Structure 1
Amino acid sequence: MSFIVRPSIRADMPTIDALLARSYPKLLKADYPPSVLVTTLPIIARARPELIGCGTYYVAEEGTRILGAGGWTLDRLRADKGHIRHVVTDDRQLRRGVGRAILDHVIKTARRSGIVELECASTLTAVPFYAALGFEGEGHMDISLGPGLHFPAVRMRKLMP
């Protein structure tokens, strides 16, 4: 593994945005019909400014190239619960441990912050990835992206004693 995981900074925003825009269509294509992707990708394949500088969103970087990103945020109601947020690996860098390194870092930092439970809304594509990291599926869900616009996902949870 020749990359590092570090907190994202505002200057990473254009690179993360481009990574999401390039990789999500390729990674999700096998698991979602074109009718879903054409309406949802313009919304979900965009970097979230509120995440980039929050301190718990990270990038995996090799030299000056960002290979992946992802992080976590606190639950609004429970101080010991966190939510996995906007994870992506460069579609040209799969099977190198990029996603695992980011999630391992997320789990470690969340645990240090007193988090005992992590939840995520996994894409259908990423369910095996999260399961391999100890997350358990809790059923299908639809993420509302706007009036009449829904993205199919799977609610997954990891308890961290």
Structure 2
Amino acid sequence: MSGFSLRRTTSLDMAEIDALLARSFPKLVRDCYPPSVMVTALPLISRAQPWLLDCGTYYAVEHDSRIVGVGGWTVDLQTPDMGHIRHVATDPAQVRQGVGRMLMTHIRREAASAGMRILECWSTRNAVPFYAALGFLELGPIDVPLQPGITFPAIEMRMVLASALARD
């Protein structure tokens, strides 16, 4: 993708990623969730997770020195050959320009190289077609706990990496 670059994030990216998430999630998910979710859960998912920024497997896509997409993966603690997709978001002004695909292609390859056989994703409702187009299979609805008494309705999706790598 011309003009786009991908790099690992650090804690120094916190403010810019917070701003991206604050632009992205409210606009992109508003038609898929009721007002009660928008009021309670959205403020919690629209913030960068400090531990994730320094984990070594979370990435930023930049365009003109500005972060326009983020996402990454981590290893499941109970299933060491399964990775979890983490906090993927694209700037609303950059959707459908390959930012998400660039991130996910890198994530899939890196996770496979690290020995992951499965990637799991807890997708927002609006992102299900995106993940499905990448080869993720929909397993069904889940409630993601955010804080005591606050959950976020998501769709659990999984991908077997061997078949995903064969398509790249």
Same fold (TM over 0.5): yes
1:81 matched residue in structure 2: 82
Question: Any residues of structure 2 matched to 1:112-131 within 5 Å, and which?
Answer: 112-131=113-132
> Which AA in structure 1 matches 2:138?
G
- Equivalent-residue separation in structure 2 for 1:20 and 1:55 (angstroms): 19
Cα deviation, residue 115, structure 1: 0.5
2:48 matched residue in structure 1: 47
1:142 matched residue in structure 2: 143
2:112 matched residue in structure 1: 111
Cα deviation, residue 33, structure 1: 1.2
After superposition, the CA RMSD in angstroms is 0.8
> Which ranges of 4 or more aligned residues in structure 1 deviate by more than 3 Å?
none
1:17-53 deviations in Å (ceiling 9; x for gaps): 1100111000001101111111111111000000001
> Which AA in structure 1 matches 2:33?
Y
- Equivalent-residue separation in structure 1 for 2:108 and 2:6 (angstroms): 13
1:97-143 deviations in Å (ceiling 9; x for gaps): 00110011100110110111000110001000000000000011111
1:27 matched residue in structure 2: 28
2:72 matched residue in structure 1: 71
- Equivalent-residue separation in structure 1 for 2:37 and 2:137 (angstroms): 25
Identity of aligned residues (%): 54
**Length, aligned pairs only:** 161
**Can you give the 5+ residue segments of structure 1 that lack an aligned partner in the other structure?**
none
1:46-90 deviations in Å (ceiling 9; x for gaps): 000000011100000113110100000000112211000000000
2:41 alignment partner, SS class = helix
> Which AA in structure 2 matches 1:98?
V
TM-score when scaled to structure 2? 0.93
- Equivalent-residue separation in structure 2 for 1:62 and 1:110 (angstroms): 24
**Structure 1 range deviating more: 140-149 or 109-118:** 140-149
TM-score when scaled to structure 1? 0.97
- Equivalent-residue separation in structure 2 for 1:9 and 1:151 (angstroms): 26
1:8 matched residue in structure 2: 9
